[in-house]
Structure 1
Amino acid sequence: MDGTARFDDRTDAGEQLGEELRERGVDADLVLAIPRGGLPLGRAVADALDAPLDIVVAKKIGAPGNPEYAIGAVASDGSVWRNEQAFRVTDADEAYFQEQREVEADAARKKAERYRSGRSPPVFDDKTVVVVDDGVATGSTARACLSRLEASDAGRTVLAVPVGPPDTIADFQAQVDEVVCLETPAGFRGVGQFYRDFTQVSDEDAMEYLER
C-alpha cells in the first residue's frame, strides 16, 4: 500500500471490515465499538454480522505536562494498560499514574453511561465479542479496551480494524483470539491518511449510530 486513501469514509471502512469478517466466518454475538470514531464502523460491522452493537470505552493516560503523550490507558471498569517504555522516559511516577488512572477511569465510566442513555451494559459471558475501531496507531485505548474484556468472562475476542502499523497489529495477537486488519502498511504515519473523509465524529452523531 502506497499511503493513498484506501477508504472513502468510516462507513465504507466498516462495510469492508464487515465483509472480511463474514468471509472469515466470524460468528459474533456482540460488536463493541470504541467511541467516537469506531461507531460508524461498528454500526456497519454489526449490521453485516447481524449482531447487537454496544460500546467499550477507555481513556488515555497522558504524561506529566504532555497529555497527548500516552503512557497508558484505562477502561471504564478500571482495567489498565501501561506503556512501560513511555512511562520510563517521562517524569511520571507510580503515584501520578495511579491518580490519573482513577481520574480517567471515572471519565470513561461517565462517557459510557452518557452514550448508553440508561441502558444496561452488555453481558459478555462466553460470548464471541468483536471490538471495532477506525484504526490504530499506538493502540493505547484499544489495548485498555481489550484489557477490559480480558478481565471479563467473554468466550472469544476479536479485534477488527481497517488499518494499523505492522508492529502494533502484531502486538495485538497476544491479547485477543483473532486480529482482523485490512491494511498493515509499512509507511504508516497516521490513521487519517488512509481515509478520503476522516472528519471528526461528534458525540451526538456517534450516539445516533448506537441507537439505530
Structure 2
Amino acid sequence: MHEYAEDHFPGWFPDLPSYAGYVRRLNRLSAVFAPLTQAAVAEIGSEEVVETLRIADSFPAGMAKEKRSTQAKVAPEIADKGYCSSKDTFYYGVKLHVVAQQRPGTMPIPSRVGLSAGSENDLTTLRQVLPFLQDGQLYGDKAYVDSSLRERLSEEQSLELLTPPKKSKGQERLSAAEKLFSEAAGRARQPIESLFNWIEEKTGIQEASKVRSSEGLMVHAFGRLAAAMLLLALNP
C-alpha cells in the first residue's frame, strides 16, 4: 500500500512518511481494524442469508514455518506454535476462527470472527460463541466432534452440531451410512473453504512473515480481513 501510494499518488500524499513511519502509524491504529471488519460485514447484502444454517472453521496466519516455528518469538502474548492439518505443516502464528452463515449459490457471510494462538483447539474457541447461537444447524470438521456437547446444544439451544463421524476405538472403517453422512457434511462445509480461499487470494492473509509486533499482527489479520469484507460488499 505504501509503495503504491508513493508511486501513483504522490500529489495526494505530499507528506507521506517513510515506510517505517507508515507502519508505526498503522500499528497505533491496530484496535480499529476488528470493528472495521464488523462494519464491513454489515455492508454485505444479506437478503439470501440462511440464518439457521451455519459453518464453523479456521485458517492459519503464520509468521514462521516448519523449523523456524520453534525459534520464533514475535507477539508471544497472541501467537505460538501450531499445526495446520490441511497443509500437514507446523507454523508459528495465530488462527482466525469464523462462523459463517450460508448463502445458496455464493460464498457465506462471516457472522462471528475470532483470533487465537496457533495451538488452540478449534472447539475450545468455538465454545466461546456457542451461547450466542440458537436454532438450526452448525457444520464443522472433525475438530469439533464432541458427542456430549452435541446433545446439550440440541436439547438446550435447538442447535444441531453436524460433523463427519470419527472411527471408534478399534473400528477399522466407517459404515456405509457413516460414509454417506461424512460426504454430505463435507459438501455442506465446502462454501467456507471457498470463502477462505477467496480471502487468501485477495489479501495473502495467511503469510505474516513480515509482522514484527503484536500490534502489527492485529493490523495484518483484521486489516486484511476488513479489506476482504469490503471487497465482498462492493462486489457481491
Could you say which structure has the larger radius of gyration? 2
TM-score calculated relative to the size of structure 2? 0.28
Richer in helix (by share) = 2
TM-score for the superposition, normalised by structure 1: 0.30
